[in-house]
Amino acid sequence: MKKILVLGGGIGGVEAAISLAKEFKKKTDYQIDLISDRKDLFIYPLSIWIPVGKRTPEDVSMPIAEIAAKRGFNFIQEKVERILTAENKVITSSKEHSYDYLVVAIGGAKLKPKGVENTLSICGGGDEAVRIRDRFNALVEKGSGTIACGFSGNPKDPTAVRGGPVFEVLFNLDHFLREKGIRQNFKLVFFSPSEEAGKRLGEPGLKKVQSLFVERQIEPIMGKKITEFGTDGVLFEDGTKLETDLTIFTPGMQGNPVLANGDLPRTDAGFIPINDFCQVEFPGTAQHKPSNCYAIGDNTAFDGPEWRAKQGHLAEAMARNTAKNIALREEGKEQTATFSEHLNIMCVMDLGKEAAFIYRDRKRAMAPTGKWAHWSKLAWEKYYKLNKNGKVPNAPV
C-alpha cells in the first residue's frame, strides 16, 4: 500500500486530497490521508461578510470529515509539528506518519509588527472576524467613530501581501453604515505604507479602488511607514498619529513557523520554493533531494510576473496539477501538469450590493463593476460548497 500524505485542510489541501482520491479511485493499493489541525475547511473568500453580519463562521466552514467521507480520502485531525523529508516522515502532536508522497499545504503566517495585538485582521479566521463584527457593532450602537483599515507587505517576498479582502471589508462597512443612514457620523480611513496600495490588481483595478475612496469619502493615508499600533490608533514614522476607535490591519505574510522545525527548504520569507510542477526545489548544494515532496498554495514561493499573488484559485490549480503529476509518475510517465499558465489575478472585490470583477494576466487587465459581480460572488459560494461535496464538476480556473 502506497501512502500519499496531504498536510493542511484549507482551500489547497482539501482540493489536493479530493483530486488525488479521484486520480487513484480505480487503484486499491493507494491510501490518501489529509492531516489538518482544524476540523473544518474555512472558506476565507466568504469570511469578508462576517464583520457586517451577513455570514457567521459556521456559514463559511465545511466539516472536512464529511468531505472526506464523500470524496474517498481519510481525514486525521492532528497538528503537524515536524516535517522530516530525509526520513519520509511527518511528526504530529500525537504520532508519526510515514509517506511515499508528501503534499504540503499548511498556509502562511502573518508578520508581527509592533503593537499588532491592538489591531484585528480579517485574515485571522472565524473568531477574529467575529471580534471585528462585535467591535464594529459596538460603534454602530454608540452612533459614531473612526475606523481604519490597512495592510502591508513583506519586503522579503512581494507575493506575501493580502490586500483584496481588506478593501472588501472596508467597502462593506461603508455600505452597512450607508444603509443604516449613519455614514456621516463615521470617519473611514484606509492606510498602507505603500504609495500605491492595490497596484498588484493592475491599472484598472487600482483606479477603481482610488475612485471608490473618493466616491465613498474614505480618507486614504498611503506611503507613510507605520511605527507602532496603539490601543487608540496608529503611529507613523513621520511622528503623526491616526486616532481610531477600531483598527483593522493585515500585516504581510511569512512562512508557517512549523517549517522551521523540519528539513524542507525555505526562502528568506519562510516559504517553500517550488518548480512549475509544484515539486519542492531543494537547493543545489543539498545532499538529500527527494522528488516525492510537493507544496501548494500560500506556503509556497514560486516564479512568475512581478504582480503574481497567492490566491485561492491558484492553490486549487496547484492542487489538481500535483495530483495529476503524482498519478502520471505512478504510471511510469513523465509529469506534465504545470501551473504557470494559471498565474493571474482574479478577485471579485465585493462592495456591499455590487462588486468589482478584477482580472489581470500577462495580456490584459480589467475591473468592470456592477451588481452582477456581487451576484457572481454569491453564486461562487454555492458552487464552491456543492463542488467540494462532489455535486457539481470543477469550473475551469
Ligand X SMILES: Cc1cc2nc3c(=O)[nH]c(=O)nc-3n(C[C@H](O)[C@H](O)[C@H](O)COP(=O)(O)OP(=O)(O)OC[C@H]3O[C@@H](n4cnc5c(N)ncnc54)[C@H](O)[C@@H]3O)c2cc1C
- Would you state the torsion angle of the CA atoms of residues 300, 304, 307, 309, taken in this order, to the nearest 10 degrees? -20
Residue placing its CB nearer to ligand X in the complex, 45 or 145: 45
Residue placing its CB nearer to ligand X in the complex, 185 or 275: 275
Residue placing its CB nearer to ligand X in the complex, 11 or 218: 11
Q: Indicate whether 201 belongs to the interface with ligand X (CB under 6 A).
A: no
Cα 220 to Cα 191, 195, 204, 217, 236, distances in angstroms: 6, 10, 18, 9, 14
For the record, the C-alpha cell of 296 comes out as 501548494
For the record, the C-alpha cell of 211 comes out as 475612485
Q: Is 124 exposed, middle or buried (0-12, 13-18, 19+ CB in 10 A)?
A: middle
Amino acid identity, position 211: S
The C-alpha atoms of residue 42 and residue 275 are separated, in whole angstroms, by: 27
Q: Indicate whether 170 belongs to the interface with ligand X (CB under 6 A).
A: no
Name the 3-class secondary structure at 97: strand
Amino acid identity, position 298: D
Q: How many beta carbons lie within 10 A of that of residue 240, not counting itself?
A: 11
- Could you say which of 54, 89, 156, 313 contacts ligand X (CB under 6 A)? 313
122 touches 48 (CB < 8 A): yes
Cα 310 to Cα 89, 138, 293, 318, distances in angstroms: 27, 33, 20, 11
Say which residues have a Cβ less than 8 Å from residue 153's Cβ, sequence separation at least 6: 160, 161, 194, 252
Residue placing its CB nearer to ligand X in the complex, 260 or 286: 260
For the record, the C-alpha cell of 11 comes out as 482551500
- Could you say which of 22, 32, 36, 90 contacts ligand X (CB under 6 A)? 36
- Could you say which of 311, 321, 322, 369 contacts ligand X (CB under 6 A)? 311
Residue placing its CB nearer to ligand X in the complex, 143 or 370: 370
Q: Indicate whether 79 belongs to the interface with ligand X (CB under 6 A).
A: yes
Q: Indicate whether 251 belongs to the interface with ligand X (CB under 6 A).
A: no
- Could you say which of 10, 126, 145, 262 contacts ligand X (CB under 6 A)? 10
Q: Which stretch binds ligand X (CB under 6 A): 55-63, 136-144, 162-170, 226-234?
A: 162-170
- Could you say which of 122, 212, 280, 295 contacts ligand X (CB under 6 A)? 122
Half-sphere exposure for 383 (CA within 13 Å, toward CB): 10
Residue placing its CB nearer to ligand X in the complex, 5 or 337: 5
97 touches 1 (CB < 8 A): no
Q: Is the dihedral of CA 19, 25, 27, 30 positive or negative?
A: positive
Q: Indicate whether 34 belongs to the interface with ligand X (CB under 6 A).
A: no
Q: Indicate whether 149 belongs to the interface with ligand X (CB under 6 A).
A: no
Q: Indicate whether 131 belongs to the interface with ligand X (CB under 6 A).
A: no
- Could you say which of 24, 68, 107, 259 contacts ligand X (CB under 6 A)? 107
Geometric angle at alpha carbon 129, from 106 and 193, rounded to 5°: 80
Q: Indicate whether 226 belongs to the interface with ligand X (CB under 6 A).
A: no
- Could you say which of 163, 252, 270, 297 contacts ligand X (CB under 6 A)? 297
Q: Indicate whether 106 belongs to the interface with ligand X (CB under 6 A).
A: yes
Q: Which stretch binds ligand X (CB under 6 A): 4-12, 18-26, 141-149, 238-246?
A: 4-12
What number of chain residues touch ligand X (CB under 6 A)? 35
Report in angstroms how near the CB of residue 181 gets to ligand X at its nearest.
28
- Considering only residues 352 to 391 of the shown chain, the ones binding ligand X according to CB under 6 A are none
- Could you say which of 38, 131, 156, 224 contacts ligand X (CB under 6 A)? 38
Cα 366 to Cα 57, 208, 351, 356, distances in angstroms: 31, 10, 17, 9
Q: Which stretch binds ligand X (CB under 6 A): 11-19, 51-59, 202-210, 336-344?
A: 11-19
For the record, the C-alpha cell of 156 comes out as 522579503
Q: Indicate whether 205 belongs to the interface with ligand X (CB under 6 A).
A: no
DSSP 280: B
Nearest residue to ligand X, by Cβ distance, number only = 10
Amino acid identity, position 71: R
- State the residues that interact with ligand X by CB under 6 A: 8-13, 35-38, 44-45, 47-48, 79-80, 105-107, 122-123, 162, 164-165, 256, 258, 297-299, 310-313, 315, 347
